[in-house]
Chain A
Amino acid sequence: NAGVTQTPKFQVLKTGQSMTLQCAQDMNHEYMSWYRQDPGMGLRLIHYSVGAGITDQGEVPNGYNVSRSTTEDFPLRLLSAAPSQTSVYFCATKRSVSNIQYFGAGTRLSVL
């Protein structure tokens, strides 16, 4: 059982480049979310989805887009990367009736 799979594990971008961080889950969880983790700031919610076709903004959504066309996948898009987006990004999932979140291993992104 793979759980929550994030790809790539590492990525280096130049300012202005675009990329998509992938998140896939095989647990049939309704709720998926994206966080970024920066030193001294904990995990901050970027976007979340309560089910296929439904997304909403979190605490720090600017510069990021998401879509949820299937239950399994929740990609995070950076349309024009900025150095301020250098961070570690985590995808998390949970059942809508549960408080237990399952996190992926993260994507470490550097924007030069």
Chain B
Amino acid sequence: TQLLEQSPQFLSIQEGENLTVYCNSSSVFSSLQWYRQEPGEGPVLLVTVVTGGEVKKLKRLTFQFGDARKDSSLHITAAQPGDTGLYLCAPRSGSARQLTFGSGTQLTVLP
């Protein structure tokens, strides 16, 4: 059984600070997605990473896929209150049709 861990579980920071959240597993993934979920809404896809070592940037968000494709990180520069939400990682293993979701990191950015 794949063990998927997201850390930290909760993070509260001031506007303008930088932060990094992590998604780790003992399994190798074929790809990994990051989603953001705002209160009362469903998750929204932010990015998909596929290649080991891949780095993708989405404005102030930087996503990295580990070289061994077992882990990923999301770095936010100069966080804003609009970044508040639950950040979920969802890796895909091999030819699996379904995604597995982590339990998420709940981020609160205080003005």
Contacts and interface: CB of A to CB of B under 8 A. Distances in A.
B64 to A, nearest CB: 18
A99 B103 contact: no
B48 interface: yes
Contact of A43 (B9, B41, B88): B88
Interface of B is mostly: loop
A100 interface: yes
Nearest to A103: B42
A4 B42 CA distance: 10
A81 B102 CA distance: 26
Interface residues of A, number: 22
Contacts, number: 47
B98 A40 contact: no
Contacts of B41: 103, 105-106
B68 interface: no
B40 interface: yes
Interface of A: 4, 33, 35, 40-45, 48, 50, 58-59, 90, 92, 99-101, 103-106
* Chain A to chain B: the 10 pairs with minimum beta-carbon distance, closest first: A103-B42, A43-B101, A42-B101, A42-B103, A90-B42, A103-B43, A40-B103, A42-B102, A104-B42, A105-B41
